[in-house]
Every structure is written in C-alpha cells, then in structure tokens.
Amino acid sequence: MSLGKSNSNYSKLAMLFHWGFVILFAYGVTKQVEDLNQLDDFDFFKFEITFAFIFLFLLTIRFIYMKRTQSSSLPPETPKVQKIAAKFVHNSMYVLLSATVLSGLLIGLLYWLEFKDGIIINSIIIIHELVINILYLFIGIHIIAATYHRFKKDGVWSSMVPILKEKIKN
C-alpha cells in the first residue's frame, strides 16, 4: 500500500492515522480502568502504562505529520468562522487526547507512590473524567461536522472517509 497522496486531499498515511486512532481510542475506552484497585495487578498496571506511552507517542507522531504534510480539505469558499471552528475542534481533540493520557499516567504514578486515596488522587481523577467527557463532546462535534459535510457534498467527507464516497456538487 502506498502511503502517498490518495485521490482525496489527505494522504493514505493520514487516513491510516485517523482511523487507527479511532480504533486505538475505542480500545482504550472499552478496556479502561473501572476501579483503581485493578492497578494492584502489576501486569495490568504495566500494560496500562505501556499502552498510554505508546498512544501518546503515536499521537505526537500523528500531530507532527499532519501539521507538516497535510492541509485542510475544507473548500476555499468555506466561511472563515467555519474554518476557525474546524481548526479549534481538531487542535482541541489533540490537547484533550493528550490530557486524557497524561492525567491517566499521573493517576498511575500517584497510585504507584501509594497515594491510593485522598484529595490529591481524587482531584486528578475528577480532572481526568472531566477531560474525557469534554473529549467525548468534541468527538461528537467532529462526527456531526463530518456528517454535515457528507450531506453538503463538498468533498470534505470523502477526503478522510474511505467508504460511502460522495458525489461532489459542482
């Protein structure tokens, strides 16, 4: 598979990063820590830490790649406010994904340092949960915006979604 530009605005590697992160994030959500006591299992704890560092490393690589090599697929006639909103949502998702991982790692560190209960770890858990909930909101906005562009048939949907390609209006 070539990782150069596809017929769309985004390269195949960009699409791989996008959909790969959808899968990684979904996996992370389904296997999330439900109870802090799960971290008493050292193998589980080690796996969580490893997964978090790999996720953060790949997120950093994705961010650098996307910022250096890809440009928006929004049509030139897109209103400026919409372009600003799209950029804000995308950048916020990077920040929120990073904050989710970093706050999770901080919880793991505090737990490992025997701060298993109390105001410090409970505060970080509240922040972690708040960040995740805001991230879900931004993911919802992202999906709604993608769907909007699907119906608008302006090419934005087809630039990143490998199925259900739209017939672009002229």
pLDDT tens digit string along 65-124? Answer: 998 988 888 888 888 999 999 999 999 999 999 999 999 999 999 999 999 999 999 999
- Average pLDDT for 123-146: 96
Number of residues in the chain = 170
Task: Assign 2 a pLDDT band (cuts: 50, 70, 90).
Answer: very low
Domain boundaries, the chain: 12-160
Q: The whole model's pTM is what?
A: 0.85
Burial class (CB in 10 A: 0-12, 13-18, 19+), 94: middle
DSSP code for 31:
T
Distance between alpha carbon 157 and the CA centroid of its chain, in Å? Answer: 18
- Counting Cα atoms < 13 Å in the Cβ hemisphere of 111 gives 22
62 in Cβ contact with 17 (< 8 Å): yes
CA pair distance 62, 127, nearest whole angstrom: 25
